[in-house]
Amino acid sequence: MSDLATQRLIAQLVPKGSRVLDLGCGDGALLDLLQRERGCSGYGVEIADGNVIKCVQRGVDVLQLNLDEGLTMFGDASFDVVLQIDTLQNLRNAEIMLRETARVGRIGIVAFPNFAHWPNRLSVARGRMPVTRRLPYQWYDTPNIRVGTFKDFEVLAQRNNLRLLDAFGLQNEREVRWLPNARASTAVFKFERS
Amino acid sequence: MFEAVPQSMSFASPLALRSGVSVADYTLAYETYGTLNADKSNAVLICHALNADHHVAGSYAGKPKSEGWWDNMIGPGKPVDTNRFFVIGVNNLGSCFGSTGPMHVNPATGRVYGADFPVVTVEDWVDAQATLLDALGIRTLAAVMGGSLGGMQALSWALQYPDRVRHAVVVASAPNLTAENIAFNEVARRAIVTDPDFHGGHFYDHGVVPKRGLRIARMIGHITYLSDDVMNEKFGRSLRSAAEGESVGSSYRYSTQQVEFQIESYLRYQGDKFAEYFDANTYLLITRALDYFDPARAYGGNLTAALAKATAKFLLVSFTTDWRFSPARSREIVKALLDNRRSVSYAEIDAPHGHDAFLLDDARYFGVVRSYFERIAVGSEGSAAS
């Protein structure tokens, strides 16, 4: 997900000039791109020490916080856009964090690995958990503790009264809009509170 | 290792203090490192905490072991790089290391101030530091930085002189002290004030020093600067006799007054050392300044409203095991800055050393500070962003 092409695809979902909160911002590359090319401002939230330093080096404002402790620091609708790019699946309280994302941001954008991508289905059909370029971990060491699919997220979004503004898959740095649940290794959703 | 040269500057015009009193004819001890650039855009002010001073970095000529108290952080090639920045350390008013303090003569009475030295606040210190910068011809600080009580001064700079501070670096600090924290200070003060050698703060006239009180004040302080873990790791339940080379497994002395445990020995040593050089009235003044600091007070406790004035960019750093200035307190400052849509970065360093961590080497902590200062634009350097 750190490749530039993917980042540009995500960046296009963010309205120009937005005030952005990027949850699990990694090394700050996406926020940096949004600041430089789309006139955005905002903060990244990151837990890993090395990534915090990289953000500071880039001049991206970063807050070292544990997302599993919630977003109490951030006020209601205090950001135009809240991003959770490859973050949701690592969180113990994924549903609460999804609700928090919708509370803090006027728009939420979530991207996560789609477990229903056909090679994953094939692997499970053969009796083994998938290990792919997108999911490079073994079942016993994966940080992806929330394993969900494109369709699963649609159900979760409805359950939490989120209105989907856009939803598509990503595969090989391209948008997948036809059968994304089977054809894309990454699911992308843009939503707001309904 | 580079050479530090202590300097001092005297000020004739009186400084008005928050208490309503003013100090006339005051002197500030200070040191500078590095070179002020042509457009004076590379000045960094370092504010000190309770028992430190203006000797921040470097060593004095012929005294190789006289490193400044933040020498690991500040110097040529260090996180706050004196090859790029002109760094200033100032001893605060009321301190006992060269600036005008309670051990000096009050020009109004011809007597040593003692307990009559006026109560000084963090805001007063910042005002005094500003007069020094005026005298040095420095209008704007590239950054103001401090840890603990020094961090409070850095924060206060951004509120009192918002147009004179580009960056504020606030380490292991808090927007005010909690009741528990004031309580620790009060125990320390009572230890000093009730020492028979204190003489109501005029002990200088009696040729004595309230060392017993100072020792206990320091012992209490030390306990709160460390974490439970680090204390256990360093001392555990080891007995002093073992350290003195007596047979291992030696038994208790069954004494209530002799030093039995290593931790006692350590605290007594720290207390003795402190009582030799620190002024009792200064200890009272500085702990009181800590207690009084509360920028939100004038805004009904609303820190967000209080910080609306701050326009500087901020870096905050806290340490997970610091229970005297806990991460939660730093996060309050971060939140107030977020509410005001200010530029802020925050690092929460998972270090075991408690409050003391802010003075210790840590690759993550130093890495963040170094990276932050590398981004601070200076003079005509092209690439940096701010």
pLDDT at B385: 45
Residues of B in contact with A55 (CB under 8 A): 345
- Find tokens 């670096």 and name the residue: B169
- The model's pTM: 0.96
Among A residues 29-68, those touching chain B with beta carbons less than 8 Å apart: 43, 49, 52-53, 55-57, 59, 61-65
Residue B235: pLDDT over 70: yes
Q: Does A147 touch chain B (CB under 8 A)?
A: no
* pLDDT per residue as tens digits for the range B7-44: 999 999 999 999 999 998 999 999 999 999 999 999 99
Contact A65 B350 (CB under 8 A): no
Mutation for A interface: B345, B362, B364, B372, most A CBs within 10 A: B345
Q: Does B33 touch chain A (CB under 8 A)?
A: no
Residue B248: pLDDT over 70: no
Residues of B in contact with A43 (CB under 8 A): 338, 344
Q: Does B83 touch chain A (CB under 8 A)?
A: no
Contact B345 A55 (CB under 8 A): yes
Residues of B in contact with A56 (CB under 8 A): 315, 345, 347, 368, 371-372, 375
pLDDT at B240: 83
CA distance A110 to A101: 9
Residue B2: pLDDT over 70: yes
Among partner residues A19, A61, A75, which is closest to B344 by beta-carbon distance?
A61
Asked if B10 is an active-site residue, the reply is no
Report, as an integer, the average pLDDT of B71-82: 98
Q: What is the torsion angle, in degrees rounded to the nearest 10, for the CA atoms of residue B250, residue B251, residue B253 and residue B258?
A: 50
Report, as an integer, the average pLDDT of A112-134: 95
* pLDDT per residue as tens digits for the range A103-120: 999 999 999 999 999 999
Among partner residues A43, A52, A75, which is closest to B368 by beta-carbon distance?
A52
In Å, the largest CA–CA distance within chain A is: 48
pLDDT at B384: 44
- Return all residues near B96 (Cβ < 8 A) that are at least 6 apart: B102, B103, B277, B278, B279, B282
Q: Does B367 touch chain A (CB under 8 A)?
A: yes
pLDDT at B150: 98
Residue B167: pLDDT over 70: yes
Three-state secondary structure call for residue A84? strand
* pLDDT per residue as tens digits for the range A20-79: 999 999 999 999 999 999 999 999 999 999 999 999 999 999 999 999 888 999 999 999
* pLDDT per residue as tens digits for the range B43-63: 999 999 999 999 999 999 999
* pLDDT per residue as tens digits for the range B179-220: 999 999 999 999 999 999 999 999 999 999 999 999 999 999
Nearest CA in chain B to A36: B385
pLDDT at B377: 86
Confidence of residue B386 (pLDDT cuts 50, 70, 90): low
Asked if B148 is an active-site residue, the reply is yes
pLDDT at A6: 84
pLDDT at A145: 92
Mean pLDDT of chain B: 95
Report, as an integer, the average pLDDT of B153-163: 98
Q: And the tokens for B101?
A: 């303090």
Q: Does B335 touch chain A (CB under 8 A)?
A: yes
Residue B230: pLDDT over 50: yes
Confidence of residue B351 (pLDDT cuts 50, 70, 90): very high
Residue A3: pLDDT over 80: no
pLDDT at A2: 62
Query: What is the CB neighbour count within 10 angstroms for residue A124?
Result: 13
Mean pLDDT of chain A: 95
Give how far A93 is from chain B: nearest CA, Å: 21
Contact A63 B367 (CB under 8 A): no
Confidence of residue B177 (pLDDT cuts 50, 70, 90): very high
Residue with the bigger pLDDT between B381 and B296: it is B296
Going by their DSSP bridges, the two strands B7-11 and B26-33 should be labelled as: antiparallel
Considering B127, B195, B322, B362, which one is annotated as catalytic?
B322
- Find tokens 């404002």 and name the residue: A61
Q: What is the DSSP letter of A15?
A: P
